[in-house]
Amino acid sequence: MCVSYSLLDLICNEWFVLYERPQQVIDAMIKCSENVIKHGQGTLPFTAPDHIVKEHYLNAKKAFKVKLKYICPLEDRSGKSVAVLTTLRAEVISEGTDVSKIHMI
């Protein structure tokens, strides 16, 4: 996936600052993450629908069609799940100022 952001932008900003996606997808991602972290479940397929993600930080102007694939726990040295890693498939569907006109789902 070829994003508009620099590596520094990606490292220094949280994903919700950089990208816009439908709230129902965010809620599904959070629920799945909680299941992986709190309940000790291993790698799981995402149940979130395919959706559109738009860049919106610093006037970035790309939109992507995204399919979330899998989520897996990241553990600290004691074996406690402390974060998650996700995989996805994305394709650029729009570049330029018309991104604001794209319907989110």
**Residue 93 neighbours by CB under 8 Å, 6+ apart:** 52, 63, 64, 65, 102
Model-level pTM? 0.77
**Residue 32 pLDDT more than 90?**
no
What per-residue confidence (pLDDT) applies to 89? 93
Look over the chain and give the mean of its residue pLDDT values, rounded to a whole number: 86
pLDDT, tens digit, 9 for 90 and up, residues 33-60: 888 888 777 888 887 889 999 998 887 7
First to last CA, the chain: 19
Tell me how far apart the alpha carbons of residues 46 and 17 are, in angstroms, rounded to a whole number: 22
